[in-house]
Amino acid sequence: MKIKDKEFKSYISHQEIADRVAVLGKDITKKYEGKKPLFIVILNGSFVFAADLLREVNTECDVTFIRLASYSEMQSTGSVKELIGLTENIFNRHVIVVEDIVDTGTTLEHIYDLLQDLGPASIEVATLLYKPEAYKKDIGLKFIGFEIPNKFVLGYGLDYDGVARNLKDVYQLAESE
């Protein structure tokens, strides 16, 4: 399938995703029973995964949505990042960060450090996709949907230059690209 200028092939079907997400939901339910976890969903890409995952969690929980904005969006300089949208007090809360994909881990590390400073009781990570070959950080990923090779993917919330978030399956860049 051609998306913008590149060829993609179906990689993980929506049924495979649904089956795996159901297992993750059960794991989370078991681990957080009675702890009223707070899911912090990292926009934009994680919205589809989060919507499915939360409906597989069968214990009382809260959910909130944040973005990590790099200062460069406003000022054209690199490194400084801030969390946008975190209104909840996370002190003493059991936090589960919901990510669509963890690649090098740079984004996750920023978020993790910023949240850690706010004194949560615990922080764990739930990510749909994880690229172990690219990961350079030490933060443990407790709930992983699929480990994938270091190739570009899209769909199920993940975009390519703003498009393809609405696709039901996850697609991978075709070999020849």
Between 96 and 108, whose beta carbon lies closer to ligand 5GP? 108
Cβ count within 10 A of residue 116: 13
Between 44 and 64, whose beta carbon lies closer to ligand 5GP? 44
Contacts with ligand 5GP, residue ranges (CB under 6 A): 45, 100-108, 152-154, 158-160
- DSSP for 26-91 reads HHHHHHHTTT--EEEEETTTTHHHHHHHHTT--S--EEEEEEEEETHHHHS-SS-EEEES--S--T
Between 126 and 158, whose beta carbon lies closer to ligand 5GP? 158
Catalytic residue among 5, 52, 100, 103: 103
Q: From the CB of 89, what's the least distance to ligand 5GP, in Å? A: 25
Q: From the CB of 147, what's the least distance to ligand 5GP, in Å? A: 13
Q: From the CB of 38, what's the least distance to ligand 5GP, in Å? A: 20
Long-range contacts of 141-146 (CB under 8 A, 24+ apart): 141/102, 143/24, 143/27, 143/28, 143/96, 145/17, 145/20, 145/21, 145/24, 145/49, 146/12, 146/20
Contact 103, 111 (CB under 8 A): no
Q: From the CB of 63, what's the least distance to ligand 5GP, in Å? A: 18
Answer left, alpha or beta for residue 156, where phi above 0 means left and psi between -120 and 50 means alpha: left
159 counts as catalytic? no
Contact 94, 35 (CB under 8 A): yes
Between 32 and 157, whose beta carbon lies closer to ligand 5GP? 157
List residues with catalytic annotation.
Answer: 103
